Chain A
Amino acid sequence: MATATYPPPPPFYRLYKDYTENPESAPEPPPPIEGTYVCYGSNYTTDDVLPSLEEQGVRQLYPKGPNLDFKKELRSLNRELQLHILELADVLVERPSQYARRVEDISLIFKNLHHLLNSLRPHQARATLIHILELQIQRRKQAVEDIKRRREEAQKLLKEALGTLEGQ
């Protein structure tokens, strides 16, 4: 049934026939999936983490270490890229049949560059979160100040009204 051209919708709707009378008679929604799952024949994982370069079979050119100086590594990768482009130009003039290795090196550098940029994204996400929290705190403080001011104004008006009434 699952491989027909226009498969019918899943038949689970029949289980919910008496939902309006008795909500307990229908099954609970399935729990969230954990780990890996299969969807249309391929495997997906619920753990959204950037796979490291070794897992993709690509050599990592920048050092690993806990605290990576991203700017320095990005700049040095840029220099390497320019050098390799010049090397490719030279090889094409002198020994044109040996272009393959140089082209592979250039594509390796590009893959490293992109991987480095992608690994900056979690940092960006956290920085965005910090920014949003700061904005929210500022808005809430502003609202507290506004409410305090209005209450004091209202108290003042009531006192004035009382004074006016007593003065009569």
Chain B
Amino acid sequence: MDIISQLQEQVNQIAGLTFNTFGTLQRDAPSVRLSQNYPEPPPNPTEDAATFSEQPKQMSAALVKAAKQFDALVAALPLSEGGEEAQLKKIAELEAENDAVGQELQRQLEAAERELKQVQELFSQTTDNCLNLKKPD
């Protein structure tokens, strides 16, 4: 995939990781006591507490890794300095060179075809002479 599409994919991946992170943390967070007026929240199941403290670390590590990947891709962008005008100038030059080489090719091709015709003509005459099918001039 070309580098710009990879960059776009990476941006979308960072977005996905962001909302997955916040969504998961919000969904799985254990209850917390907000004020003295409310009673203690019900005790949490134990298996939550073990995996739950690992989740923010893993998810934030994934986010940071994705961001670093994005930076690496940006560094790999083959952006030539000079901008639009330099590119257009190069295109015009290459077009002119392409035309010149194309005409040279055309000339060579025509000369080769002429020579081929001559050789074919001579060959047919020679074979006719050899086989005595026509009277020699």
A-binding segment of B40-48, B81-89, B127-135: B81-89
The answer, yes or no, to whether B61 is at the interface (CB within 8 Å) is: no
The answer to whether residues A75 and B91 also contact, given A66-B83, A117-B11 and a CB cut-off of 8 A, is no
Q: Are A110 and B15 in contact (CB under 8 A)?
A: yes
Smallest CB-CB separation from B101: which chain A residue?
A: A140
State the main secondary structure of chain B at its contact with A.
helix
Interface size class of B (residues with CB under 8 A): 35 or more
Tell me which residues across on chain A come within 8 A of B63, comparing CB atoms. Answer: 82, 85
Tell me, in angstroms, the Cα distance from A6 to B69 when the chains sit together: 52
For residue A26, CB closer than 8 A to chain B, the reply is: no
**Closest chain A residue to B87, Cβ basis:** A126
CB distance from A140 to the nearest CB of B (A): 5
State in angstroms the CA–CA spacing of A63 and B74 once bound together. 18
Binary flags per residue of B2-43, CB closer than 8 Å to A gives 1, else 0: 101001100100110010001000100000000000000000
Q: Decide if A129 touches B91 in the complex (CB within 8 Å).
A: yes
Given A81-B14, A120-B4, A137-B94, residue A70 in contact with residue B79 (CB < 8 A): yes
A127/B80 in contact, CB under 8 A: yes
A interface with B by C-beta (< 8 Å): 66-67, 70-71, 74-75, 78, 81-82, 85, 88-89, 92, 106, 110, 113-114, 117, 120-124, 126-127, 129-130, 133-134, 136-137, 140-141, 143-144, 147-148, 150-151, 154, 158
Which residues in B have some Cβ–Cβ distance to A below 8 Å? 2, 4, 7-8, 11, 14-15, 18, 22, 26, 63-64, 67, 70-71, 74-75, 77-80, 83-84, 87-88, 90-91, 94-95, 97-98, 101-102, 104-105, 108-109, 111-112, 115, 119
Q: List 9 A-B contacts (CB under 8 A).
A: A70-B77, A78-B70, A110-B11, A122-B84, A130-B91, A133-B95, A137-B97, A140-B105, A144-B101
